Amino acid sequence: DTGVSQDPRHKITKRGQNVTFRCDPISEHNRLYWYRQTLGQGPEFLTYFQNEAQLEKSRLLSDRFSAERPKGSFSTLEIQRTEQGDSAMYLCASSLPETPGGYTFGSGTRLTVV
């Protein structure tokens, strides 16, 4: 197992376009989290899954954001009608159920909206 994988590493998109990111967690980790991070800030919580169930979603998260984890393995994060303010690093993390805050982070997807 090579850790948490995220794809793509970089994405440049025009304002108004939709984008989708993928995360493959560590196989034995049943919890999966999505965060967004901008320069000089800590990771901002977006949503998390336990197996295929989406258990929590940040109130700050716009309706343009949606995430899925259909078979309890990989997850996708979609942003519709992107805005310049969506430009950030999108981080995925996974954890074991017995250490829910002990995350292993992926390398992230850097989104630039032009």
Partner 1 sequence: QKEVEQNSGPLSVPEGAIASLNCTYSDRGSQSFFWYRQYSGKSPELIMFIYSNGDKEDGRFTAQLNKASQYVSLLIRDSQPSDSATYLCAAPPIFGTGTLLAVQP
As measured in angstroms, the least distance from the Cβ of 113 to partner 1 is 20
Residue closest to 45 by CA, chosen among 53, 35, 55:
35
As measured in angstroms, the least distance from the Cβ of 8 to partner 1 is 15
Regarding 108 and contact with partner 1 (CB under 8 A), the answer is yes
Pairing of strands 104-105, 109-113: unpaired
Residue closest to 90 by CA, chosen among 58, 50, 52, 43:
43
User: From CA 33, how far away is CA 93, in angstroms rounded?
Assistant: 5
Regarding 99 and contact with partner 1 (CB under 8 A), the answer is yes
As measured in angstroms, the least distance from the Cβ of 68 to partner 1 is 18
Identity of the residue numbered 63:
D
Q: Which stretch binds partner 1 (CB under 8 A): 13-21, 61-69, 76-84, 103-111?
A: 103-111
Q: Which residue has the tokens 């800030």?
A: 41
Identity of the residue numbered 57:
K
Residues in contact with partner 1, counted by CB under 8 A, come to a total of: 21
- How open is the CA angle 98-68-19, to the nearest 5 degrees? 125
As measured in angstroms, the least distance from the Cβ of 77 to partner 1 is 15
Among 9, 17, 56, 64, binds partner 1 (CB under 8 A): 56
Question: Where along the sequence are the contacts to partner 1 (CB under 8 A)?
Answer: 33, 35, 40-45, 48, 56, 91, 99-108
